[in-house]
Every structure is written in structure tokens, then in C-alpha cells.
Chain A
């Protein structure tokens, strides 16, 4: 038996459980429940109640991405610099949450921000009035940032770590002030990492599921929650088809972002997940 045959169970499994399911999504997206070709499934999303969810998802994902960049860039910059005694442990601490159950972390956030939660207890203890956080857009964006921040830090950190330190020294020697070193040298050189980070945060944020439902008491649904709703709760006889067309749109959006990323950062300098 040739050695290449050892890959056949792999090929078979991935075909059956990774490729074929996506073909099912494509099939349902373009057909009626009777199996005839149609494009009407995609028109559903022009309806105000669906369109509103899509716009909200894009908006919240955008806020989340901007905040992650603002918080994540300095974090990555400090981690890549030579200042801390235990940099390696710090890097691990900041990146670890990336692989920790999204639901549990959101649940923890919910516990903290709840009307009768720890945050409000602390506020009352120091004599301040209670604040209502759960249910607001702020809570949702905060939950998204909380979940996806490490995905911004990692690629920027990777690029900055590889950066040639002597370039910065050259800029300083030539009379550049510290602010201009950052704006004219460090940021342009770390652009691949920034683009990578933006994609790695924006993609999961726009398709996120459960985070928003939990932090808004079900009031503010995002794209992922809408897909869940259409498949599992709506009574529409076309629900598989409509849900599939929506899933397909999400997938295409992601593929476009990845294509864009490849174009800006062809050598994958920003680094993937692994």
C-alpha cells in the first residue's frame, strides 16, 4: 500500500463534514423549499427588521474593531518593547483568553455588569448611584471587545517583535522626536499586523452569536443571533432557505476580507492563529 493512501480517511472525513455541509448551505440558499432555483431568499434581508440587524451587526463590529485597535496597539507595542521583567508570561496572559470558551467569558461579563451585579454593588458601596449597563449598546460593544481584544494584540505583537530595532534608532539619530518615530516609522512598518488584526477582530465580531443576546437581555440581536433565530425559532416554511442565504452572505463577506488581507499582507507577516 502506498503511503499517500494514509490520507484517505482524512480526505473522506473533511469532504463529508467540512465541504459537503457548505454545499448544502449553497444549495438551500438558492432554492425554494420545493427545490426550484430562486433568488428571493436573498431579498428577505431588504426587509426592515432583518436589514436593521445586519446594519447593527456591522456597526457594532466596527465599534468593536476600532476600540480593539485603540486598546490593542499600545498593548502590543509595550509587549514587543524591552521593558518588563516577565514579558513572556505577560504575552501568554494576554493571549490565553483567545482560546477560552466564548460563552463562559460572556457569562462572566454578564455577572459583572448585571443590574444587581458586582459592578453596581461596588458603586453603591462607595455611595454612587446604580448604573444600567446590561441591555445597552455599550454593554454589547464591551462584550465584543472583551472577547476579541487578544485577536488584535497577537498579529500586531508578532510584527512589532520582528521589527528591526536599528531602524528606530536611525530615525532618532536623524533627529526624529519620539512621537514622529511612532507615527512615521513604527506604525507604517506594522501595517500588515494592523490589517491582520482588524480582519481577525471584525470577522468574528460581525458573525458573533450569543454575546449580544446575553448582554442585552435578548433585546439587541446581531447577525449570528439572527441566523439562530431563523433556523431554530421562526415558523417561516422557508426558514432553512432564508437562513442558508444569510449564512452564505456571511461566508462571502469573510472570504472577501480574507482575500483583502492576502492582498495587503501577501507573506502573512501578521501571522495566522497558529
Chain B
């Protein structure tokens, strides 16, 4: 692997091409969201009109509200359930804990489409109309594993004697939980929360099967709009989603990397 000049040039060109392949479509779409013309082949000047239109379109605003509401509720609930789950499993014997942890791999390995369809079947069987709340239930289920897997390592790193000491000194178990354990694992909880929120915001397939056109989220309206031809407002919506997801991912990456070092 002693690199000659030719090898180095080839390597640089190769990486540049891969990056262009991965990012050109996204950058083009972002550019088009600021294009004054509806046409995708002509640049007729910079405009923010499409963004203004987005915030005056009741159906897009409704979908934005649904998306944020679903993400916030699912994140809060899954953070609580996932964190408590991790604490509980940490105190269990290993066999029992392993069974429960393996359940979390289930939604991570099942193809999204099968997860979506299976939840839809259950809701339809139970005669629960598909809508915002079914979507929230589904999101909580796929968010929990991310919280669990962010919190578990922090619990393993924790000194187990701290909790025992608190109890020995007369601390009530519940108080020891939020005075001793929670502060120790807080960085893990926060990473889990960020991950859960991002996954919620990012999801399309599972949301598609567990919601209805009555209460669409943003992905769903983008998907419906593809059947109706070009709408630059959808480029604006997509751009805003891309940028928020990207920022969240960069934030998460920074945290997990920092923690690996520490």
C-alpha cells in the first residue's frame, strides 16, 4: 500500500465521484426549492416564494403539525419506557435480560414493510381506525430500541456500588433512582432521545402503513404529490426535512463520538 502518485489521484477522483453520486440529487433538489421557475431545467432566479407558499398551505401545515406531534409524543414516551426498561433489565439475571433485549432486535431486523403491514393488520383487526394515534403507537415501538441501546452501555459503565450506597444511607429506592442512577446515565438518555426523535422524523414506510390520508405526515404528502406532477413546494418541504434531519444526525454523531473517547 505504498502509494504512488497515480494511486493517490485515482483515490481522490474515486471518492469525489462517490460523494457526487450521494449528494448531487439532494443538492439539486435544494437548489430547485429556491428556483423562481416551476421548470426543473431552467434557473430563472432566486426566490423564497415556495417556502412562503408552504406556510400558507393548510394541508402542508397540517402534515407538519402531525409529523412534529407524532415525533414529540413518541420520543417522550419511548425515552421513558426505554430508559426504565434498560434500568430494569440491568438489575435482572442475564438470561431474562437477554430474552428481553432480543425483543428489541426484532423491529430492527424486520423489514420496515413487514413491520408496517403487521401493525396495520393488528389495528384493522382490533377495529382501531388508522390515524395519528396508531402512527404514534408504531413510532414508540420502533423508537424504544434506540433509547435502550443508548442507555444500556451507560448503565454497564456505572459503578454499581453507588446505588447500593444510597440505599444503605437510607435513600428510598425511587429517590435513589432519580438522584443516583438517572444523573449517571443522562448522556445516554439524551443520545437516545435525539436518536428516537430523528428516527421518528425520518420514517416513511412504517408511518405510511399505520396512518391514513386523513392525518398524513410530511413523508406521506410528499409521496402522494409524486403522482400529481411537479410541485416546487414539495422541494421546499423536502429541503426543510433534509436540513433538520442532517443537523440532528451531525449532533448525534458528535455526541456518540465524544463519548467513545471519554
Contact = CB atoms under 8 A, between A and B. Distances in A.
Interface string B95-133: 010001001101111111111011111101100000000
Interface string A95-132: 01101111111011111101011101100100000000
B88 A231 contact: no
Interface string A1-25: 1111111111101110111111011
A260 interface: no
A247 B118 CA distance: 9
Q: How large is the interface on A (under 10, 10 to 19, 20 to 34, 35 or more residues)?
A: 35 or more
Interface residues of B, number: 84
Nearest to B239: A104
B111 A250 contact: yes
B62 interface: no
Interface string B55-85: 0000000000000000000000000111011
Interface in A156-195: 168, 172, 178, 181
B173 A121 contact: no
Contacts of B42: 121
Nearest to A186: B1
A145 B218 CA distance: 25
Given A90-B15, A109-B25, A111-B32, 13 more contacts: A4-B89, A6-B84, A7-B84, A8-B88, A21-B119, A94-B19, A96-B250, A99-B202, A99-B245, A104-B241, A111-B29, A210-B223, A247-B114
Interface of A: 1-11, 13-15, 17-22, 24-25, 28, 71, 74-75, 78-79, 81, 83-84, 90, 92-94, 96-97, 99-105, 107-112, 114, 116-118, 120-121, 124, 146, 149-150, 168, 172, 178, 181, 203-204, 207, 209-210, 214, 224, 227-228, 231, 240, 243-244, 247, 250-251, 254-255, 258, 273-274
Interface of B: 1-3, 8, 11, 14-15, 18-19, 21-26, 28-29, 32, 39-42, 80-82, 84-85, 87-92, 96, 100, 103-104, 106-115, 117-122, 124-125, 137-138, 140-141, 144, 148-149, 173, 198-199, 202-205, 209, 219, 222-223, 226, 234-235, 238, 241-242, 245-246, 249-250, 253
